[in-house]
């Protein structure tokens, strides 16, 4: 399990209990398409080691995330071995 801090900002792996907060944060910004099912799929893909999602928090609140898919769906990336 990742346990890191960058400039006082904790960064950890996405967990199921993060989903509601993330969905609410994007809804508050008016971003469509950031629904619960997307993040549930992300958790399942992370559990299968197909993807990693790092979640950053600032002052205990969700601040953002980064996702890396190890086997790219985009063929030129996949063929070049680029995640």
CATH code, domain carrying 12: 3.40.630.30
Closest C-alpha among 16, 17, 12 to residue 56: 12
Say how many domains are in the chain: 1
Confidence class for position 6, pLDDT limits 50, 70, 90 = low
- Domain extent for 22: 4-80
User: What six digits make up the tokens of 50?
Assistant: 């197909």
pTM score of the predicted model: 0.80
Q: Residues 14-71: pLDDT tens digits? A: 999 999 999 999 999 998 888 999 999 999 999 999 999 999 999 999 999 999 999 9
**The predicted structure's pLDDT at residue 11:** 94
Q: Give the span between the Cα atoms of 18 and 56, in whole angstroms.
A: 11
**The predicted structure's pLDDT at residue 1:** 43
């Amino acid at each position: 399990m990742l346990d890191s801090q960058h400039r006082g900002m904790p960064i950890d792996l996405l967990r199921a209990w993060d989903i509601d907060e993330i969905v609410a944060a994007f809804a508050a910004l008016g971003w469509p398409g950031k629904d619960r099912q997307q993040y549930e799929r992300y958790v399942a893909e992370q559990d299968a080691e197909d993807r990693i999602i790092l979640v950053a928090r600032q002052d205990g609140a969700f601040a953002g995330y980064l996702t890396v898919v190890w086997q790219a769906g985009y063929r030129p990336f996949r063929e070049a071995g680029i995640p």
